[in-house]
Structure 1
Amino acid sequence: GEWVWGKVLLCDSYTVTVNGESAEISDDATICDGVFFVPKGDHSGQVCLQMSNYMDDNHWQEAIQCADIYSFATFVRRLRAVDPEQTIREMLQELGLEKYPVLQGKSFHLTVGDAPEKVTLELVA
């Protein structure tokens, strides 16, 4: 994000213990020591608000806050994705490819590797 960053740990749930009492949390992310703990029930990105109040020189930076929350939620959704076709569709939708006449009606063959240099794209038709 623009104002928040850190390691992200995806989990099914996490446990909070206070004064010997424990609670298992499965639907709200939290931050501890700069690590975002994101259980599978949280898709909101609201955890960013634990890291920053988005105030700068006494002015609330609402646009930056909204962008960070959206970016974090999108990032987590993609990390948890299990359907490759749906993941690519979501990513392509954000690019607005329909705005590029040179691409309209074209087909491509895409192979995704584990590094940027291992991604191949071939124009098919």
Structure 2
Amino acid sequence: MRAGARHLLATAETQLAHLPAHAVQSHWAWQLGVLRDALDRLDALHNEWAQTGKTLPASARPGTPAFDDALAEHHAECWSYLDTWATHGSAVLDINSQARHAPTPLAPPPAMATLPASDGAKPGRK
């Protein structure tokens, strides 16, 4: 999950950097920073949990108090960072939506189709 979140975050940061200034909401950069910080903290907590798992006694398996208490503590530490993603994650979608609709130098705006010059005769029925 975190790898997918990192990809979404990197994509949003790239899109935001290429949006025209008039299309950018001022809070998006801040929200992406908050999301990045939360993701970094979730990664750190995941690493801490991996270390905790190594220090638990061999008898501590899922369903035992030693394991379940340690896991509950880990989950409790993660909730606020997951809540941050629930609160600010929509910025990733908003940026993507704006990027999809913004003109880009790679795709110039469509030109108006011009009609060929007529010889003055009006179309009519025969």
Q: Report TM bin, short chain.
A: under 0.3
Determine which structure has the larger strand proportion and give its number.
Answer: 1
Determine which structure has the larger helix proportion and give its number.
Answer: 2
Q: TM-score, normalised by structure 1?
A: 0.27
Q: TM-score, normalised by structure 2?
A: 0.27
Rg larger in structure: 2
